[in-house]
Every structure is written in C-alpha cells, then in structure tokens.
Amino acid sequence: MNELKKIAILGSTGSIGKQALDLCRRHPDRYRVTALTARASKETLFEQVREFRPEAAGLTEGIRPEDIPEDLRFCRFLSGKEALHAAAAEVEADMVLVSIVGIAGLSGVMDALEAGRQVLLANKEALVTGGHLVTDLARKKGKPLLPVDSEHSAIFQCLQAAGPNPAERILLTASGGPFRTWDRERILKATPEEALKHPNWNMGAKITIDSASMFNKGLEIMEARWLFDMPEDRIQVVIHPESIVHSGIVFRDGAVLAQLGQPDMRVPIGYAMSFPERLETGVPAPDLFSLGKLTFEQPDEAKFPALRLARASLRAGGAACTVFNGANEAAVAAFLRKEIPFGEIACRVERALEKLAGLKADSIEDIWEADRRSRLVG
C-alpha cells in the first residue's frame, strides 16, 4: 500500500490547481489535501474546501470572517500573503504545488523550500526572476524542483530516461498560439478576444495572451536554463502546432529523445505528484494511427520578438529577466483592459530593458525592486 502523501496547492481554483485536485480525487488512497489558496475565487474555493476538507485555506485578495459559511468553520481561513506563507511552510505537507501566476509565486517557492517541502513547480516566474536564489536553496535543502509545465516535464522525463548521458541541446516545443499563421501587421493589431482563442490549451487569460505573443516561450527558455543548467544558446524553440511532442533532448551522437502525449495537463501534473512513479490520470495515450502527420517549424522572431528579448535578458544577467517579466505582466494587463494594442506589449518590454539595464538581483529585495520599477515603464 502506498504511503498517503500530504499536498498543499497554491492556486487551487486555476486550471492547474483544479486538475491536480482531480488527480487527488482519483487517488484518495495516495493523497490528502492539507491546504488550498486562491486569489479571489471565493465560491470555488469554498466548494473545494467542502470536498477535500483541508486544514487551511485562504484568499490572497482577502476574506472576512463573516464571509465564511458555517459548515466550513472547521478550516483555518487566512488572507493576503499570510495565506500563501501558511500553505507553503506552516501547514503539514510533503509537497507544495505552486500554480499561482506571476512573481507572487517566488515567495511561495522559497517558503516551501525553506520548510523542506518538495516543490511541484507550475510557476515560471519564480525561476525567471529568482532562478539563482531558488536553485541554490533547492540544492542546499536537497529538494530538486519537479517541473509541471508540459514542456519542462517532458524534458525532465527525457533526462530520466537518458540516464548518465548528458543532453547536448534541449528542444523546447511551442504550439505557435492563435497567431502562428498570421502576418506581422495583423498580429500587431490583434484584439484581446482574438488573442484569447488558444488552439490547443485551456489556460488562464495571462498565460493565454503570453502564448499568443510567445512571451510564454521566452519565460520557458529562462525556466529551462535554471531547471536543467543549460545555456540559452543550447535551448532551441521548435514550433509544433499539434502539441503532441511536448519537448525533447538531443545527444552528442545525433539521437533525439522526445516525450509525446495528449495536450492534457493532468499527465505532467501527475508525474510531478507521483515521481518517480506514474499515476493513472484518465488521459489516453495518443493514437499514432489517427494523428496523420506532425509538423515542425522555425519560430519567426520578427513576428514574435519575445524570443529575442528573452535570450538578450538571459545574456544581460542581473535583474534583466525580472524586468522582462514585470514589464510583460504590466503590458498584458493593459492590453486586456484594451488600453494598448497587442504589438505594444513587446515594445514596452524592450523599452523597460533599455531603461533599467544594469539592475542587480543579488537578493529577494533586489528582485522585488526591479519588478516594481519594470511595471512603471510605459
């Protein structure tokens, strides 16, 4: 009989959090949920607390005691940053799934590592902004990060199969998003409604916009650099619109090892939750006979400048990646409010990188300051 694992989920009402809870629901003999947090989805969080009965739950945007239903008073409810800290580091847990969006995930990851928890990482920004601090702490605590992003999970799975053979290059696949076949002028004028129509994945608004602009892939290049200790010039982005090959690695002898699967996040989530074992997830294997063909394309950096800016940020060092991330978050929010056109997102990020060149990132405080300043560049 498997030992019951205790899991805390930061971001339980988002897509990743809900799918992780589905796996807990499928395997009640393996997992017990001890903490849940959300940003503002109060009613959804209440329903999750009713079903999974965690010890603690919280809303980072705040909750009043009078808002908590009588039947949920068994649970300790928390507000603001205290909710994230308690779920990550105070409530008893073997693993912490960090699936909140944005730089807010950095504190959750650091808190969980400090407390000796296994981190299941579904937050790119923790490594984008604080990669050296996070990986140093993970190494010190003997708790390697387990990636949840489909691409990074695929790379991780390939590396497990590679054994002692080192990878020469990483192949990081990308769907190309909804604008893959559009020309540059049309992309520049895209509306939020058009950018939110992802062809393969069901994700939150911020991540979906980042996929349309390929800023998501820029963030993933940064994440891969830290997760796998791979220089950016050995991380190759490959457009693969079918999203069946989730990523791969290339060996010195020319062999390529890739991971295939349906575009369903329960597979990488389940692998992180059960590593080194594998869970039944409810996701069927791809039917190779019905796939027809798989296509691969070079990314067009003229249409998607995020890739060029991401690599430049990694080469610049210091707080450049934090600036890249913060300026993008602010620009995406402005785009969703219909204050700026789609093409202005990359322009704002490039201006921020030019204006804030040379900022250091030697501490968490440096990172927060660089993030604050990056959001002020219009």
114 within some domain = yes
pLDDT tens-digit map of 284-313: 999 999 998 999 999 999 999 999 999 999
73 within some domain = yes
- Whether the pLDDT of residue 1 is over 60: the answer is no
Given 316, 345, 372, the domain boundary residue is: 316
Ramachandran region, residue 93 (left: φ > 0; alpha: ψ -120 to 50; beta: rest): beta
Cα 213 to chain centroid distance, Å, stands at 16
| Assigned token pair, 88 | 């990550």
pLDDT tens-digit map of 166-180: 999 999 999 999 999
249 within some domain = yes
264 within some domain = yes
Does 109 lie in the same domain as 93?
yes
Range of the domain at 20: 5-144
Range 11-34 burial, b when 16+ CB lie within 10 A, else e: bbbbbbbbbbbebbebbeebbbbb
State the Cα–Cα distance between residues 315 and 233, nearest whole angstrom: 10
360 within some domain = no
Residue 142: per-residue pLDDT: 95
Given 83, 113, 144, the domain boundary residue is: 144
Confidence of residue 198 (pLDDT cuts 50, 70, 90): confident
Mean pLDDT, to the nearest integer, of 189-204? 82
pLDDT tens-digit map of 95-143: 999 999 888 899 999 999 999 999 999 999 999 999 999 999 999 999 9
State the Cα–Cα distance between residues 332 and 320, nearest whole angstrom: 18
Residue 183: per-residue pLDDT: 95
Contacts of 297 (CB under 8 A, 6+ apart): 176, 180, 238, 239, 240, 241
- Whether the pLDDT of residue 199 is over 80: the answer is no
Residue 243: per-residue pLDDT: 93
350 within some domain = no
Confidence of residue 226 (pLDDT cuts 50, 70, 90): very high
Does 173 lie in the same domain as 114?
no
Does 208 lie in the same domain as 63?
no
Does 220 lie in the same domain as 72?
no
Residue 201: per-residue pLDDT: 63
pTM of the predicted model as reported, rounded to 2 decimal places:
0.93
Does 232 lie in the same domain as 118?
no
- Peptide bond between residue 284 and the one before it cis (omega within 30 degrees of 0): no
Does 221 lie in the same domain as 136?
no
Given 266, 289, 316, the domain boundary residue is: 316
User: Could you give the number of structural domains in the chain?
Assistant: 2
Does 303 lie in the same domain as 157?
yes
State the Cα–Cα distance between residues 62 and 80, nearest whole angstrom: 5
- Whether the pLDDT of residue 202 is over 90: the answer is no
330 within some domain = no
Does 161 lie in the same domain as 110?
no
The residue type found at 117 is R
Confidence of residue 197 (pLDDT cuts 50, 70, 90): confident
The CATH number of the domain holding residue 107 is: 3.40.50.720
What is the side-by-side strand order in the sheet with 56-59?
Answer: 76-79, 56-59, 31-38, 5-10, 95-98, 118-121, 146-147
Does 200 lie in the same domain as 128?
no
Does 201 lie in the same domain as 161?
yes
Residue 2: per-residue pLDDT: 65
Does 116 lie in the same domain as 162?
no
Does 257 lie in the same domain as 194?
yes
Q: Confirm if 94 and 362 have CB atoms less than 8 A apart.
A: no
173 within some domain = yes
In three-state secondary structure terms, 268 is helix
Q: Which residues pair with 36 in a beta bridge?
A: 9, 57
